[in-house]
Every structure is written in structure tokens, then in C-alpha cells.
Amino acid sequence: MSNMALKSGEVISIASGIFEGYDSEGPFTVVRDFYLEAFVGQAKAVLTKPWGVSKLMHEIPRMLFAQGLISIMPCRKIYLGGEFELGEGKNDY
């Protein structure tokens, strides 16, 4: 993992997962400077089971928000489902 220094004021989107478990969250604004690699490392350190990694990756945006490191930018969330079903979702933060 590269050294991901995130600076206050940056606009970011966070994607995680693989294949059908892929997830994308954002956009967010970075509220204060932090190193994403260090944050993820600390979060990973508490895992006791290997299968917890996938769930943890989906929770990272919520954890960053809860610690005041990012804020949510208002936007419409539009998704494409199977058979090109269109829909709209909301953040649950």
C-alpha cells in the first residue's frame, strides 16, 4: 500500500471490495489531514478472523466519518442494477 496522505479540503471517493462485493462511497471532503494507510492499519489490527477483512473494508468510510476525518458532500447516488435497472440511493450515515 502506498503512503496515502489525505489533506484537509480534498474531495475523495472510497471504493472497496472485489467482484460482486464491490462498493463505492462518497464523495467526501477531508476535514483534517491524516494518513489513510495508518488508519487502515490500526483498524486491521483488531481483526481476529481473516473473513472480517471484507466487512472492515466496507466500514472504513463510516469509521472515518465517525472520527471526524471526513464529511459527506451532498450528491445524488444513482445505481445501475441487473438488467439495467436504474435506482437512487442515500447515505445512511
The answer, yes or no, to whether residue 73 has pLDDT greater than 60, is: yes
Q: What pLDDT does 87 receive?
A: 78
d(CA 37, CA 30): 15
- What number of residues does the chain have? 93
Would you tell me the crossing angle of helices 52-66 and 36-45 to the nearest 10 degrees?
A: 120
Q: What is the pTM of this model?
A: 0.77
pLDDT in tens, 14-61: 988 766 667 788 899 999 999 999 999 888 888 877 777 777 888 899
Specify the pLDDT at position 20.
65
Pairwise CA distance, residues 36 & 64, whole Å: 9
Q: In whole angstroms, what is the distance from residue 28 CA to residue 49 CA?
A: 29
Q: Which is more confidently placed, 65 or 84?
A: 65
